Amino acid sequence: MALASVRRRSLASGKQRHRRNAGRLFDSMPMSSPRRWLWFVLPIPIALGLARLRFDVEVLNLLPADAPAVQGLKIYQQHFANARELILYVHTADSETTESTARDIAERLRRETNLVAEVTWQPPWLEHPAQAAELIACLWLNQPPEAFGQLTNRLAATNLNSLLTTARDALATSLSPGDLARLSYDPFGLTSLPEGATGSAPHFGEGQEMFASVDGTFRLLFVKAPGELASYRECAHWLHAVRRTVNEAVPPAQQSSDGVAIGYTGRPAFVTEIAGGMERDVTTSVGGTSLIIAMLFWLAHRRWRPMVWLLTLLALILAGTLALGGLIFGTINVVSMGFAAVLLGLAVDYAVVHYQEALAHPDLSVPEIRDAIAPSIFWAAVTTITAFLVLNFGGLPGLAQLGSLVGVGVGLSALVMIFAFLPPLFPDRRQSRPKTTETTQAHEPKASPPLRPIVTRSVFVGTALLICSASCALFSGHPRMDATANALRPRNSQAYAALETIKQQLNQKREPLWLIVEGRNEGEVARRLGQVAPLLDEAVSYHLLSGFTLPTALWPRPELQAANREAARQLAAERELLRVRALSNGFASNSLALTEGILDAWQQASTATNVFWPTNPLSAWVFEKLVARTPTNFYALGLLHTAGDSATLSPAAFAHLEWQLPRDGVWLSGWELLGGAILSSVKSNLWKLVLPLAGLVLFSLWLAFHRFAEVVLSLSILFISGLCLLAIMRIAGWSWNLLNLMALPLILGTGVDYSIFMQLALRRHGGDLTIAYRSVGRALLLCGATAVSGFGSLAWSSNAGMSSLGQVCAVGIAANMLISVFLLPVWWKTFVGQGSRAESPDPESSPAQSSRFHSRLTRPSRLYRAELWQIGLAIARKLPPRTAAGLSRILADVYWTLARRRRAVVVRNLLPPSGGDRAAAEKAGRELLRNFALKLADLWRYESGQPIAPLFDELTGWEHFTAAQSTGRGMLLLTPHLGNWEFGAPLLAQRGVKLLVITLAEPHGRLTGIRQASRARWGIETVVIGRDPFAFVDIIRRLEAGATVALLMDRPPQDSAVIVELFGRKFAASIAAAELARASGCVLLPVYLPRKDNGYTAHILPEIAYERAALRSREARHTLTQEIMRAFEPAIRQHPDQWYHFVPIWP
């Protein structure tokens, strides 16, 4: 006892001494003059790099530029996807409202001449029919001379009277609205082009299908910016201004009342979303990772000055890496911005390992610690840097840049942490201390204690179980391969959602493929279009395509225009004859406007020597969809409609067609082909990454260990962790895609670090597992947690591929770290280190004491997760109710005994309802665990689809429900976490009441989906608050329509919590009920469902009255929330052992 007391005092004094040393953090950093100058000079290149830095939001720049599919998409984006054009849709319940709303928006935007260059909300030939003349004239000029000659014969002076008489008779007898409209402004039939001449040209008088749905309730508007939107900030500013103008035209209140839905898509919307996502990703991932690092460091060491110094160095490393990236690359793409969180998670490793070693060996100087740990850091940094640099060989420029940035950052962080982290924290240990004889004798190498047989057996049994479990999970198959381009798209994108809505409403089930034809002049493009058409006809014949559209009819034909020019000039010269004959045959002068326009265009074309291109706004609008011209090249766009399901598309299916197409100047591309094409490229390049990296890893392991057994142990960890990763991906339903395939080299390169650190630590400490864990193992746990948090933060990335990459890397690195810390030491001791002695002095007698990791009791238990929930559902299907109840009670007693901290939380929660009687609270707490276990068993029966009618015993207060129902108002059923509140929904369903349940998201996203699906089987709808910012708007609407909604009151999210009084104590309750009452005027009914001996009893309490007008003040809503909670006090006091709270609830 005396020895232990002395040891504790020694440790305490050591900690105080460290705090005093840390207090002189900056004062104790003597800097020579060159060092001072370095600190002043260093900001200059950082500033230059940051000033040069630009963000690239173009998704296609992430992909290999030499891939034909990528080249085609880039040409399409550059020449056919107007970067200035924003697409709006308007959707209402009826066609009249939709048309008037679209017209109002268009007229309002057109008045903003500084904001908008052009707004098109209906076919231009309907809004400006006179402008169609130029396009029709061009189509006639591009006809063969034989067809144009037939037109001139038809318009010969001898045939005009007959032609006009036929037109007049058709007007008198035709019943077709289209014919009547056409002949009224086209008496000479000039719009009746030869068959095949209008294949890609618009049908004048029609074309609404391009702008509106069949029923007219959905309309499109095309809005063009007045100038180029050069940067993403300009896109965001312009889009915001357009939104503001649209809201002025159709105020949000009117949108809500009239049921008007307005969506935005197009390149400006995509650029704004992607750029905004990049900014959010950086701030969220970097901020979140930094916060996790700080929290983990604090939990591990309880010292704030080292933590501040660590975060300062991390910030400098991040800024330095970003500046170097700016100097090297200039532009950083959407994927590369993920480097920041990854770098933070990796860079902290080197500091933590150093710091833990310094605490474990307080009598060693900083240079001695550096000498001891530097080899581990060096080899770990080499493998990590290499792992990221080899991404440059993966064929994806986006990930290559990410790898380069992280590689540079890891090298910088290794240098900074080795030489700058420890000295200011331990200023009195900057120089080596003289070794006394006594100390030297104490540090003589000694044999490590032998392993206990039970530890050895446990580790090897655990290893076998881990391998068998993972193998069983993979027995049914491996993770699937996602060959689509979805990994490149942003997640939760409103612009993509709007695009999907447009495709659905306009009956475009999938996007067509694009065939782009390039030429140096009009004739070359026309020849290539002629070569392509027979090949596409053949593809249609063998059902590869369902159809196609080429701009052949629209494309100017120089030789045909030259042949028709003289005839066109002669027709234009007979303008007066045509006018006189039309007037004499009863046609009004205004019916000749189209004819006059066509003759004007022919007259202009006949005097020109170059190829005639129509130039008015209508023609420009039509041509820009299918034709593009640059000073040096011409482009034509064809649309290919695939046959079959788009999910089956692959490059292999179109390989024969691509092989047949001309090699030069023709590209077959499309988003549906892009994923498979790039995935094939990534797969073919994967060996260029994995094989060199595997060779380097083997070489590094051999240089680090020079022992075959230790190299094999490190490779075994990589194998088992890879097996675990595949199993988890299979269980979780994850798939491989374009980006997360790159996780393989990353895991291979970074995961091996932990085995290097651990095995070298075991060597240094002579195989002493306790000391190795104390000096390095704890640090590796912290390092692994920060690395996992760095990669894991990418799971919230706005880019789907980066999100999946972060998930896969986080799981793989976590498996590597955990196996290295908990299994590897016993393996090493068994196969390598029996009887080994330390390689370096190890002051075992004075290890620094580390703080314990505290469980986060403010969060739900780790047992509350999707995997265990699914196991419970499976057991509930198999076990009889009595057996399940008995097993539940046993497990509850075990949990009560083992989970001491959670037990203390439960007892503290029950003290106020128990009147402060601790003995009563402890008794109620034990019973609460048992009741909760029974409740879970019953709930699993319910959610697994088993009958639960026998579980209900009694229903009281139904008259309150029927009275509320008779008012015709919506009902809000309020309940605390008392009894089995989930059973209220099926009870009401049995009585014909459809219930909407409001709930928060579960701690694990998959668990939310499982529970939502279980309720849906009973016809119960769930609204998860937090996913959709407009969820409460929908709830209010339903309450106004008379719906019945259920809401829990006593565990609110922070943003809807207010402090009320419960059992004389302050308590956080949800103000959502009062807010919903104010918004909808619904009835508030308190209910609760406790379990009794014979089953569950449902109690419906009297309605809680309120004055809706008074609820406009927050104080009144606060008071109403207090009344609601006061109504539940008697029930909670009566059943405290069924008031289920396992996190602290009293402020």
* pLDDT tens column, 755-811: 888 888 888 788 888 888 887 888 788 878 877 887 787 777 777 777 888 889 889
Residue from 1011, 1003, 724 nearest 862 by CA: 1003
Domain boundary residue among 927, 943, 959?
943
> Tokens 């680090």 belong to which residue?
704
User: Residue 391 and residue 805: Cα distance in Å, rounded?
Assistant: 13
Q: Is 636 within the bounds of a domain?
A: no
- 936 and 976 fall within a common domain: no
Residue from 718, 644, 687, 647 nearest 480 by CA: 647
- 826 and 912 fall within a common domain: no
Tell me the pLDDT tens digit for each residue of 197-223.
555 445 444 556 678 888 889 999 999
Tell me the pLDDT tens digit for each residue of 960-1000.
999 999 998 999 999 999 988 888 888 888 888 888 988 88
Banded pLDDT at 27 (limits 50, 70, 90) = very low
Residue from 255, 156, 353, 306 nearest 760 by CA: 353
- 961 and 926 fall within a common domain: no
CA 154-156-157 angle, to 5 degrees, is 135
Residue 65 confidence (pLDDT) above 80: no
CB atoms within 10 A of CB 1013: 11
- 1120 and 1094 fall within a common domain: yes
Residue 332 confidence (pLDDT) above 80: no
The pLDDT score that the predictor gives to residue 849 is: 32
Domain boundary residue among 900, 924, 943?
943
Q: How many CA atoms lie within 13 A of 1049 on its CB side?
A: 33
Banded pLDDT at 856 (limits 50, 70, 90) = very low
- 786 and 880 fall within a common domain: no
Torsion-angle region of 512 (φ positive above 0: left; ψ -120 to 50: alpha; else: beta): beta
Question: How is residue 397 written in tokens?
Answer: 């420029």
Residue 874 confidence (pLDDT) above 60: yes
Query: Please, are residues 735 and 479 in contact by the beta-carbon 8 Å criterion?
Result: yes
User: Residue 657 and residue 544: Cα distance in Å, rounded?
Assistant: 9
Q: Is 548 within the bounds of a domain?
A: no
Q: How many CA atoms lie within 13 A of 1034 on its CB side?
A: 12
Amino acid at 886: G
Query: Please, are residues 914 and 924 in contact by the beta-carbon 8 Å criterion?
Result: yes
Query: Please, are residues 700 and 379 in contact by the beta-carbon 8 Å criterion?
Result: yes
Question: How is residue 1001 written in tokens?
Answer: 């998201």
Q: Is 1147 within the bounds of a domain?
A: no
- 1003 and 1127 fall within a common domain: yes
| C-alpha to C-alpha distances, 958 to 348, 966, 1049, nearest whole angstrom | 61, 12, 21
* DSSP structure class, residue 417: I
User: Residue 949 and residue 986: Cα distance in Å, rounded?
Assistant: 9
> Tokens 């986006």 belong to which residue?
398
| C-alpha to C-alpha distances, 563 to 136, 151, 560, 606, 612, nearest whole angstrom | 17, 14, 5, 11, 13
975 or 663, greater pLDDT: 975
Tell me the pLDDT tens digit for each residue of 997-1029.
888 877 776 788 888 888 888 788 888 876 555
> Tokens 């299979």 belong to which residue?
730
- 981 and 1096 fall within a common domain: yes
User: Residue 13 and residue 347: Cα distance in Å, rounded?
Assistant: 31
Residue from 246, 284, 242 nearest 266 by CA: 242
Query: Please, are residues 769 and 829 in contact by the beta-carbon 8 Å criterion?
Result: yes
Q: Is 849 within the bounds of a domain?
A: no
Query: Please, are residues 470 and 724 in contact by the beta-carbon 8 Å criterion?
Result: yes
Query: Please, are residues 1125 and 1103 in contact by the beta-carbon 8 Å criterion?
Result: no
- 1000 and 1125 fall within a common domain: yes
Query: Please, are residues 805 and 742 in contact by the beta-carbon 8 Å criterion?
Result: yes
Tell me the pLDDT tens digit for each residue of 609-658.
888 888 888 888 888 888 888 888 999 988 888 876 544 455 566 777 88
CB atoms within 10 A of CB 1066: 10
The pLDDT score that the predictor gives to residue 89 is: 93
Q: Helix and strand tally (H, E) in the chain?
A: 44, 21
- Range from 177-181, 863-867, 1117-1121 that averages highest in pLDDT: 1117-1121
Q: Is 633 within the bounds of a domain?
A: no
| C-alpha to C-alpha distances, 334 to 315, 331, 391, 630, nearest whole angstrom | 21, 10, 16, 29
735 or 67, greater pLDDT: 735
The pLDDT score that the predictor gives to residue 949 is: 79
Strand partners, 639: 514, 549
Sequence-distant (6+) residues with CB within 8 A of 862 are none
Domain boundary residue among 928, 943, 958?
943
The pLDDT score that the predictor gives to residue 285 is: 72
The pLDDT score that the predictor gives to residue 970 is: 92
Residue 1130 confidence (pLDDT) above 90: yes
Strands (DSSP E) found in 950-1089: 952-956, 971-975, 995-1000, 1021-1025, 1044-1048, 1057-1062, 1065-1070, 1083-1088
- 938 and 959 fall within a common domain: no
The pLDDT score that the predictor gives to residue 1028 is: 58
Range of the domain at 1037: 949-1138
> Tokens 């898509």 belong to which residue?
265
The pLDDT score that the predictor gives to residue 1132 is: 93
The pLDDT score that the predictor gives to residue 175 is: 63
Tell me the pLDDT tens digit for each residue of 216-269.
899 999 999 988 887 778 888 999 999 999 999 999 888 888 889 999 998 888
- 969 and 1076 fall within a common domain: yes
1125 or 80, greater pLDDT: 1125
**Number of structural domains, the chain?**
3
Q: Is 352 within the bounds of a domain?
A: yes
Rounded mean pLDDT, 1051-1072: 89
- 888 and 980 fall within a common domain: no
Banded pLDDT at 1082 (limits 50, 70, 90) = very high
Rounded mean pLDDT, 581-601: 85
Banded pLDDT at 48 (limits 50, 70, 90) = confident
Banded pLDDT at 387 (limits 50, 70, 90) = confident
Residue from 80, 71, 117, 343 nearest 222 by CA: 117
The pLDDT score that the predictor gives to residue 432 is: 56
C-alpha 637, offset from chain centre: 32
* DSSP structure class, residue 114: T
Ordered alpha helix ranges (H), 853-899: 866-878, 881-898
Tell me the pLDDT tens digit for each residue of 554-566.
888 888 888 888 8
Question: How is residue 128 written in tokens?
Answer: 């400006």
Q: Is 239 within the bounds of a domain?
A: no
Ordered alpha helix ranges (H), 361-433: 366-389, 397-416, 422-425
Banded pLDDT at 913 (limits 50, 70, 90) = very high
Indicate the helix (H) or strand (E) that contains 797.
none
The pLDDT score that the predictor gives to residue 235 is: 87
The pLDDT score that the predictor gives to residue 713 is: 92
Q: Is 384 within the bounds of a domain?
A: yes
- 812 and 713 fall within a common domain: yes
First to last CA, the chain: 40
User: Residue 574 and residue 571: Cα distance in Å, rounded?
Assistant: 5
The sign of the dihedral angle between the CA atoms of 419, 424, 430, 433 is negative
Residue 840 confidence (pLDDT) above 60: no
Residue 878 CB burial class (10 angstroms; 0-12, 13-18, ≥19): exposed
Banded pLDDT at 1058 (limits 50, 70, 90) = very high
Residue 276 confidence (pLDDT) above 50: yes
